Amino acid sequence: MDDDDEYTIPLQDQRVFGAGIKRKRIAFVPAAAASSPAEDSLYSLRRPASSAADKYLSIVLPKQRMQQDNNNAAESSIEIERSAEAESRQLCLEHSQPPSHLDRSRVGVKYLTAHGWDPDSGRGLGVRGEGIRMPIKAREKNDTAGLREREAKKGQEDGLIVRLNAKQVRKKEMAAKKRAEALRAALYNDVDVDKYLGSGGSAHSII
Residue 191 has pLDDT above 70, yes or no: yes
Average pLDDT for 66-84: 65
Domain coordinates in residue numbering, the chain? 52-93, 171-205
- Please give the share of the chain, as a percent, with pLDDT higher than 90: 7
Instruction: Please say if the pLDDT value at position 206 is more than 50.
Output: no
Question: What is residue 207's predicted lDDT score, i.e. its pLDDT?
Answer: 41
Buried b (16+ CB within 10 A) or exposed e, 61-94: eeeeeeeeeeeeeeeeeeeeeeeeeeeeeeeeee
Question: What is the full DSSP assignment across 45-98?
Answer: HHS----HHHHHHHHHS-HHHHHHHHHHHHHHHHHHHHHHTSHHHHHHS--PPP
What average pLDDT score do residues 22-31 get? 78
The pTM assigned to this predicted structure is 0.25
What local confidence, expressed as pLDDT, does residue 174 receive? 95
- Among the residues of 85-165, which ranges form H helices? 87-92, 107-114, 154-160
Higher per-residue pLDDT: 18 or 120 = 120
Which of 20-24, 38-42, 44-48, 113-117 is the least confident region?
44-48
